[in-house]
C-alpha cells in the first residue's frame, strides 16, 4: 500500500462517509452542504488515486469534476430557490 493510496483511503472513509451522512439528512437545502463536501472529497480522492495508479492524462478527471460539481450545485441552488 503506497502512502498516496493510504491518504485516499482515509479521505474516502472519513470524508465520503460524512458527506453521504449529511446528504441523507435534513431539508433539501441542508443536504446541499453534504453534496458540496462530497464533491470536494471526491476531487481530492481522485487526485490522489490518479497520482498513485493512473496514467498522467487521467488528471483531467478531477479537473473536469471540479467544474461540473460547481455548475451542478449552482443549478440545485437555483432550483431550490424557486420552489
Which residues here bind other proteins, judged by CB under 8 A?
3-4, 7, 10-11, 14-15, 18-19, 21-22, 26, 29-30, 32-33, 36-37, 40-41, 43-44, 47-48, 51, 56, 59-60, 62-63, 66-67, 70, 73-74, 77, 80-81
Q: What is the distance of C-alpha 19 from the center of its chain?
A: 8
Query: Rounded distance, CA 47 to CA 54, Å?
Result: 10
The Cβ of residue 34 has, within 10 Å, a number of other Cβ atoms equal to: 18
* Range list of β-strands (E), the chain: none
Q: Identify the residue whose cell numbers are 458527506.
A: 19
Amino acid at each position: 500500500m503506497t502512502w498516496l493510496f493510504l491518504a485516499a483511503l482515509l479521505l474516502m472513509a472519513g470524508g465520503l462517509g460524512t458527506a453521504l451522512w449529511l446528504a441523507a439528512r435534513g431539508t433539501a437545502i441542508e443536504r446541499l452542504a453534504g453534496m458540496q463536501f462530497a464533491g470536494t472529497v471526491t476531487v481530492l480522492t481522485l487526485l490522489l488515486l490518479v497520482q498513485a495508479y493512473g496514467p498522467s492524462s487521467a488528471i483531467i478527471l478531477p479537473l473536469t469534476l471540479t467544474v461540473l460539481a460547481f455548475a451542478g450545485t449552482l443549478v440545485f441552488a437555483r432550483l431550490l430557490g424557486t420552489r
